Structure 1
Amino acid sequence: MGFDFDALGDEDDDSPFPEVRASVSNIDDPEMPAMTLRMWIIGLTLCLIAAALNVYYTFRSPAPSVAPLALVLISYPIGKFMALVVPTKTYRLPRWLGGLEFSLNPGPWNVKEHALVFIMANVAVTPPYALNAIVVLQIYYGVAYGFGFDVTLVLATQLTGFGLAGLCRRFLVWPASMVWPQNLVACTLLNTLHAEEDEESGGVSRYKFFMYLFGGTFLFFFLPGFLFTALSVFSWICWIAPTNVPVNQLFGVSTGLGMSAVTFDWSQITWIGSPLMIPWWAEVHVFAGFAIFYWILVPILYYTNTWNLAYFPISANVLYDKFGQEYNVTRVLTTQDTFDMDAYNNYSPLYLPATLAMTYLLAFALSTCVLVHTLLYHGRTLVNGFKRMRVEKDDIHAKLMRNYPEVPDWWYGVAFVTFFACAIIAMEVWKTGVPVWALLLAVLLPVVYVLPSGFIYAMTGQSITLNLIAQIIPGTLLPGNPIANMVFKAYSVQTLTESTYFVQDLKLGHYMKVPPRSTFVVQLVCTVLAAFVQVGVKQWMFANIPDICQKGQKSSLTCPHNQVFFTASAIWGLVGPKRQFGPGSIYYPFLYAIIIGAFLPFPFWLWQRWHPKSRVKYISTPIILNGVGFIPPATGINYSSWFVVAFIFQYWIRRKNFLWWSKFNYITSAALDSGTVFCFIFIFFTLQFPKGGVTLKWWGNEVWMNSKNLFRVAPSSH
């Protein structure tokens, strides 16, 4: 399955996909400098500062985040300024240092340097997932191994995926059909910033359009973001009937199904990704899956009290006990933080709210569906790739990239082995009790899923995670070992996630004609340095900030993400999946979803084999199952508003005015994203963060919090 088969063309001098033609340049200047000293100074400075800030604020609630797109905009004037004022003198290193020539100012700040800064930001500014495990060990289990363990584990989880990503290039980067829609927005923004003038005559330029829309979005976000927050959570039906239980369960936003399509908050619309970025056929898949499973099937299961669902809120991201209260994990722990079977039997089994139960059910089905789908639809591609044959005909971008020496596979192989060895060192040197065979199994999961996940992500912009299966496997094989469960989960999930991000950046470098070896060095160096900075910030915070991760901490450093991670470690590492889904559990039927998922792709694959011209060939069962993976905490309003905007831009405008769409669609997404992010950060640091903060108390900021979402059936012992 490709990106948009209806749009295929025979252009030899450009991409066969109009989405790519609209956002990616089909020309290149091989002499343009990329990995310059200026790029290193700007990129490392901004990325390491952003990485440190993001680690600090990941422990805070609420928390802003410095997004990679923000660094693209910040680095642009800095690069232009340096090109203007820094001397152009050329320097030469001594012969004993290689005699390399370099200049602090090799000419105008160019698009390849800028692309490398963005690549740095993409792989380095997000807080490492393994920090969750490290903090939970220290705060909740009282185990602190120190800086050496922390940085070794972070390096392993961050960079094993780097080696894996490079080995997948021939499948996920070089083929033209691997579009990676996230990159189209970035390419459009970069090309817009560096284009001296639009080639088209007449009309507003892309750059002016971006600046106008960026400014308008920045100003408008003050309404839903601060002045009138009900515009963000626009559940007006619940305002009319705040005590009507079914109305709030169906139309409520925070703990309901969000059966509405109206919000004026771009951050709500883009909760599951930009609707201007993902191809229309994939958006139809995602919304169809959401509507079927969450707006139709969930209410049926809930109001028939299947699996005792009606004893709990219809939508929540926490687990419950038999009394209808949030599950108290500490009641099933001994003083040594091990599982207490007697306390568990005297307290309660774990119960799932309706939307979370559906999420688990679909995750079981997806675990096998995505593998079978990949073998059926991409089997020939995999065989050709492993035979070192060309997977498909080169497009213009692949041809232009032949001007640059490719990175040898063994470079990535060495990186993979080296950082996997770091994981073994972390477990063995610091005596964590996590067996090496568990690490082998943990890394095997992303190795198996990286290509299926990559195919889905590259074509649809929808990522696949291993959160559920990466908790169930160690919970089954190593019961009662929460440390092993956390390490296994962190290593598996982050290796797959990082490999996807690294491949995405490799494709961005491919589109921007950045030499592959420059991309390799930049990704590796920035991620390694960021790991030391991020762990250092964490170490400083926990050594110097009193009451960190405690309720009521004066700077709001309450560690909300770590609380969720701890709960998951206790549930899957202590209580264990056997008690949750094994024989005797009311959720035992969930396991049949694994079998059903393996057979789901076959009917559609067989039908398109018999009827090649049928539109059934566009149906992708993994996308239908995976697209709803943001629920919870995402709700119906995030999907419905996203789909409405997608219909307007990706279907209606694209067909009615393709020239406007090809020129402005992706720059519109970039401007809306950037304006919203900058306004959010501005509001946080100027109005909310200063001591005391500014709070506007009036109807428009409170009405959306007045609705009730009670249980339809009164709780009882069941």
Structure 2
Amino acid sequence: MPAMTSTALFVLDLQNGILAHFPDTTAYLERFFALQKTTDTMPADSEKTDSKTASPHFVDVDGSSLEPEVGDVVTTTIHGGVKTTARGNDGYLDAEVGDVLPATADAAVSTPLQLVTKTLDCTDDPSESPYTFRAFVLGLGLAAFGAVIAEIFYFKPQTVTVNAIFLVILAYCFGELTTFIPRWGPVGRFLNPGPFNQKEHVFIVIMANSASVSALGTEQLAVQTLWYNEEPNAASAIFMLLSSQCIGYGIIGLMRNIFIYPTKFVWPLSLPLATTFQSMHLDKALARKRLKVFWAVCIFVMIWEIVPEYIFPLTTGISIFCLANQHSELFTYLFGGSNGDEGMGFLSWCMDWQYVGTSQFVLPLNTLLNQLVGYLLCVTLTIAAYYGNVWNAKNFPFLAQDLFIANGTDTYNQSAILGAHNKVDQAKLAEYGLPWFATSNALSLLTMNMGVTAGVVHIFLWNWSDVGFIFDVFRPSELKKRFDYIKSGAMLRFWKDDGSYPPETYPGTEGDPHFTLMRAYKEAPTWWYHVVLVLAIVIGMICCYQQKTELPWWAFLIAVLLSWFLSIFYAAIYGITGFYYQPTTAVQMIGGYLRPGYPVANMMFTLYGSNGLVQALLMLGDLKLAHYTKLPPRATFLSQMLGSILGAILNWVMMNDIVKEHREVLLSVEGTNLWSGQNVQTYNAQAVAWGGAGDKIFGRHGEYWYVPMGLLFGLFVPLPFYLVHRFFPKLHLNQVNTYIICTWLGWLSVGINSSLLPYFVFGFFAQFYLRRYHPMLFTKWNIIISAAIAGGCAIIIFILTFAVEGGSGTAHNFPQWWGNNMEGNVDHCKYMN
């Protein structure tokens, strides 16, 4: 069907209990009348359909013809696309020509299939090609820009990331500019092949987005240089970065179809990008109108963001309680949250969109509800632990990420306990003492560990039918098939496999027009991903030994297997709920037990055990975006590889230059207003705690032995809800996602926390009120506006960082006044640090 060009979020129906956990995959794939144009053939120019006289063609999901009814969308197929006309339907006053008018509000977007057909355009023009000269030039150019900026800001006091929406906007502007190049002769047509199409645009953005991160490997290289006086040579460093960035692609690439084809894996965070692309490129009046709204909202946010970010920082966190009592420690810790590590921000109101964010507009309602439960429990637990003096809480700051000496008067000096080969010297450790955490940080480590195993058990209990067949490869019959395949010698001729088209049917794709349209394109051959994975593993192991990290080959392979195992469950959760949290703590703990006493080995284990998972999820998100926007899989693979390779190289170049030029600043606790080592300091501190003295800190007799036990606790957390639901299904306990709740129990241990109240208010307004009572407004404007907010915020923050906040060398602070309190907390809570 001709779907609308904005997206709506996949929302849970709490009354029938079919949403967040999908215990029965087929339960929500209800047969509904999908009004879609047939895509099997396109008429020739001489066979164009007259849109004024043609009879509309309605098709059910099984292919049978339907008679149009009042309220349906009339579609007339024309060459190159679809023209839509909406009939009247009482009760939908916000409907316009071109809208899909559902029978009821609840039917509007209550299933994944309805979501991806009613809120995304379901047409494709296979004649469009992403392989143009300008696509490669713009993609590589924006990839270089994103990689350099991301690495620079990793070492800044105020970290700014390159937002994907920002890249979409830049790519669109530059792409449209190329269409003004005169098409004179072969050179002109080569530089300007015609209108800037959607496939080129997506190809550029995926390439740039793959590069626009600060690779975790640069963090390790910086730590080795700064604290361990080990500077790997350029070749070794770059190859390690390439290996660690690409290993996740190789891991998940072998399972990509499982998480991309089925409709149930919506990948909610890919929807705003898909909406933005379609709004920019669909040549329809409605699409142009929505693009105008996009730019209007984007510009408004750019103008507004100057207020909280520069002129009136009090609006970052307005706390009535702190304004009423500016001398209370409890009020600061409970209600304060406008400054980093100030307090919990409970009931504060944030008007700064860079902190509020836009994910709440696109996350399912069930995800928001579980986050809210975790948030309220987090506030209660953290305040109670601090004032109960758990783990000597009052000796340390309320919120902090550093390691401290026992009395909390100073941060922990790791160099005082290291001996030869960067191994912890037990005698020095006994003399200097063990490091301590702020209690809020220790609680966060505990609950994050609980979330890791709770997520795995959650998938086993509720979604095993969706992912269990992945493990069929270990069945004796399947192992025998692979052994016979190896014996036949066919594997030695792997390059002859040039890929294949997707199958006609695949479990979970019934009635999905996006899957049908993507069958026009060949998949990337599986051996491509095999090669990426094998090369990444071999190069990674060589780098481990060449750099003398003390991580043996068997531990390295365990890290890779751990990344693969976690990818299965995290991909399922992320693809359905739009939420995941990197299990770094659990990976560091496992590495500490496998290789105790070696902080550098722990960092290398974490790099491949945790970063591989993150890269796998990023790859899947891009693949789903390509699925929605009809970018061929091979083009997606190419853009991801090019972006990752270029990004890794430039990440190393910038990291090496910054570390050499600002070494002393990066080692200092406070840094300067231009450069800071806070990120690498935190990474190094965790490596020392887990890898250097983990057995004494987290062991059976250690002060924090509860932290690793969180993995055990998490195994049992989902069980009560599952068992009670089996006997009392009307309680709808299948809606309880213990993975999300456990993760959010430690959510407020760091950063600016005043944004949570507006986060939930806007989320529930969009996902409950608009979706239920104004479904047409919801499906038409929700995601396009959220994308505009993110884009406007990204642009102005980038500009302000260089213009007035010191990113270009000198900061130009706004004069101090009541709304810009630079001598304490900007929300006027009592300053505690």
Tell me if both proteins adopt one fold, taking TM over 0.5 as the criterion.
yes
Segment drifting more, 563-572 vs 335-344: 335-344
Task: State the SS of the aligned residue for 2:754.
Answer: helix
Alignment-derived partner of residue 173 in structure 1? 260
Cα pair distance change 1:591/1:144, threshold 3 Å: closer
**CA distance in structure 1 between the aligned counterparts of 2:812 and 2:831, rounded to whole angstroms:** 29
Cα pair distance change 1:708/1:250, threshold 3 Å: same
Kindly indicate whether residue 244 of structure 2 is the aligned counterpart of residue 157 of structure 1: yes
Q: TM-score, normalising length from structure 1?
A: 0.91
Whose RCO is larger (CA < 8 A, sep 6+)? 1
- 1:401-440 per-residue CA deviation (whole Å, 9 max, x = no partner) reads 1111112222212211111111012123344332111110
Kindly indicate whether residue 143 of structure 2 is the aligned counterpart of residue 27 of structure 1: no
Cα pair distance change 1:133/1:679, threshold 3 Å: same
Shift of 1:331: 6.3
Task: State the SS of the aligned residue for 1:708.
Answer: coil
- 1:167-200 per-residue CA deviation (whole Å, 9 max, x = no partner) reads 2222211110101111111011111111333448
The amino acid across from 1:549 in the alignment is L
**CA distance in structure 1 between the aligned counterparts of 2:746 and 2:178, rounded to whole angstroms:** 44
Alignment-derived partner of residue 445 in structure 2? 360
Alignment-derived partner of residue 430 in structure 2? 345
The amino acid across from 1:650 in the alignment is Q
Cα pair distance change 1:346/1:707, threshold 3 Å: farther
The amino acid across from 2:241 in the alignment is V
Kindly indicate whether residue 617 of structure 2 is the aligned counterpart of residue 500 of structure 1: yes
Kindly indicate whether residue 508 of structure 2 is the aligned counterpart of residue 392 of structure 1: yes
Cα pair distance change 1:589/1:559, threshold 3 Å: closer
Shift of 1:667: 1.0
Task: State the SS of the aligned residue for 2:819.
Answer: helix
Superposition map of 1:284-683 within 5 A: 284-292=369-377, 294-330=378-414, 332-334=416-418, 336=420, 337-384=422-469, 390-394=506-510, 395-543=512-660, 547=664, 549-551=666-668, 556-576=674-694, 578-612=695-729, 614-628=731-745, 630-634=747-751, 636-683=753-800
The amino acid across from 1:224 in the alignment is P
Shift of 1:18: 4.3
Task: State the SS of the aligned residue for 1:85.
Answer: coil
- 1:456-514 per-residue CA deviation (whole Å, 9 max, x = no partner) reads 11112212312111211222221221110111111211100000000100000001011
Alignment-derived partner of residue 280 in structure 1? 365
Shift of 1:545: 5.9
Segment drifting more, 80-89 vs 6-15: 6-15
Cα pair distance change 1:686/1:383, threshold 3 Å: closer
Alignment-derived partner of residue 123 in structure 1? 210
**CA distance in structure 1 between the aligned counterparts of 2:385 and 2:278, rounded to whole angstroms:** 50
**CA distance in structure 1 between the aligned counterparts of 2:452 and 2:145, rounded to whole angstroms:** 37
Q: Is the 8 A contact 1:248 1:708 kept in 2?
A: yes
- What is the aligned residue count? 694
Shift of 1:261: 3.8
The amino acid across from 1:574 in the alignment is G
Q: Is the 8 A contact 1:481 1:573 kept in 2?
A: yes
Cα pair distance change 1:589/1:537, threshold 3 Å: closer
Shift of 1:616: 1.8
The amino acid across from 1:62 in the alignment is Q
The amino acid across from 2:330 in the alignment is P
Task: State the SS of the aligned residue for 1:24.
Answer: coil
Alignment-derived partner of residue 715 in structure 1? none
Kindly indicate whether residue 378 of structure 2 is the aligned counterpart of residue 256 of structure 1: no
Alignment-derived partner of residue 230 in structure 1? 314
Shift of 1:568: 1.6
**CA distance in structure 2 between the aligned counterparts of 1:90 and 1:161, rounded to whole angstroms:** 41
Cα pair distance change 1:571/1:586, threshold 3 Å: closer
Alignment-derived partner of residue 716 in structure 1? none
Shift of 1:635: 5.5
**CA distance in structure 2 between the aligned counterparts of 1:645 and 1:465, rounded to whole angstroms:** 25
Q: Is the 8 A contact 2:449 2:714 kept in 1?
A: yes
**CA distance in structure 1 between the aligned counterparts of 2:137 and 2:296, rounded to whole angstroms:** 30
Shift of 1:393: 3.2
Q: Is the 8 A contact 1:485 1:572 kept in 2?
A: yes
The amino acid across from 1:463 in the alignment is Y
Alignment-derived partner of residue 136 in structure 1? 223
Structure 1 unaligned segments of length 5 or more: list them. 93-101, 712-718
Structure 2 unaligned segments of length 5 or more: list them. 1-9, 13-17, 20-27, 37-110, 474-504
- 1:349-398 per-residue CA deviation (whole Å, 9 max, x = no partner) reads 33332322221221222232222222222222224456699432331111
**CA distance in structure 1 between the aligned counterparts of 2:599 and 2:343, rounded to whole angstroms:** 32
Larger radius of gyration: 2
Task: State the SS of the aligned residue for 1:276.
Answer: helix
The amino acid across from 1:668 in the alignment is I
The amino acid across from 1:459 in the alignment is I
The amino acid across from 2:800 in the alignment is I
Alignment-derived partner of residue 198 in structure 2? 111
Q: TM-score, normalising length from structure 2?
A: 0.79
Q: Is the 8 A contact 1:22 1:663 kept in 2?
A: no
TM-align CA RMSD? 2.6
Q: Is the 8 A contact 2:250 2:533 kept in 1?
A: yes
Q: Is the 8 A contact 2:213 2:647 kept in 1?
A: no
**CA distance in structure 1 between the aligned counterparts of 2:320 and 2:419, rounded to whole angstroms:** 48
The amino acid across from 1:708 in the alignment is K
Q: Is the 8 A contact 2:261 2:509 kept in 1?
A: no
Cα pair distance change 1:617/1:130, threshold 3 Å: same
Alignment-derived partner of residue 60 in structure 2? none
Alignment-derived partner of residue 482 in structure 2? none
- 1:134-187 per-residue CA deviation (whole Å, 9 max, x = no partner) reads 011011110011111110110111000011121222221111010111111101
Segment drifting more, 9-18 vs 153-162: 9-18
**CA distance in structure 2 between the aligned counterparts of 1:91 and 1:214, rounded to whole angstroms:** 36
The amino acid across from 1:134 in the alignment is L
Q: Is the 8 A contact 1:162 1:498 kept in 2?
A: yes
Cα pair distance change 1:691/1:522, threshold 3 Å: closer
Alignment-derived partner of residue 483 in structure 2? none
Segment drifting more, 525-534 vs 179-188: 525-534
Cα pair distance change 1:519/1:628, threshold 3 Å: farther
* Match for residue 59 of structure 1 among 138, 143, 155: 155
Cα pair distance change 1:19/1:633, threshold 3 Å: farther
Q: Is the 8 A contact 1:167 1:413 kept in 2?
A: yes
**CA distance in structure 2 between the aligned counterparts of 1:498 and 1:525, rounded to whole angstroms:** 14
Cα pair distance change 1:11/1:599, threshold 3 Å: farther
- 1:629-650 per-residue CA deviation (whole Å, 9 max, x = no partner) reads 6432246433322111111111
Q: Is the 8 A contact 1:329 1:567 kept in 2?
A: no
- 1:196-228 per-residue CA deviation (whole Å, 9 max, x = no partner) reads 33448xxx9211111111111000011100001
Q: Is the 8 A contact 1:267 1:676 kept in 2?
A: yes
Segment drifting more, 27-36 vs 136-145: 27-36
Alignment-derived partner of residue 819 in structure 2? 700
Shift of 1:90: 5.1
Q: Is the 8 A contact 2:419 2:425 kept in 1?
A: no
- 1:80-123 per-residue CA deviation (whole Å, 9 max, x = no partner) reads 1212315275589xxxxxxxxx9433321011111111211221
Q: Is the 8 A contact 1:47 1:124 kept in 2?
A: yes
Q: Is the 8 A contact 2:249 2:616 kept in 1?
A: yes
The amino acid across from 1:362 in the alignment is T
Cα pair distance change 1:86/1:612, threshold 3 Å: farther
Q: Is the 8 A contact 1:329 1:571 kept in 2?
A: no
Cα pair distance change 1:568/1:385, threshold 3 Å: closer
Task: State the SS of the aligned residue for 1:368.
Answer: helix
Task: State the SS of the aligned residue for 2:638.
Answer: helix
**CA distance in structure 1 between the aligned counterparts of 2:817 and 2:178, rounded to whole angstroms:** 47
Alignment-derived partner of residue 137 in structure 2? 41
Shift of 1:11: 4.2
The amino acid across from 1:162 in the alignment is Y
- 1:286-322 per-residue CA deviation (whole Å, 9 max, x = no partner) reads 1111212x12222223322233323333332233332
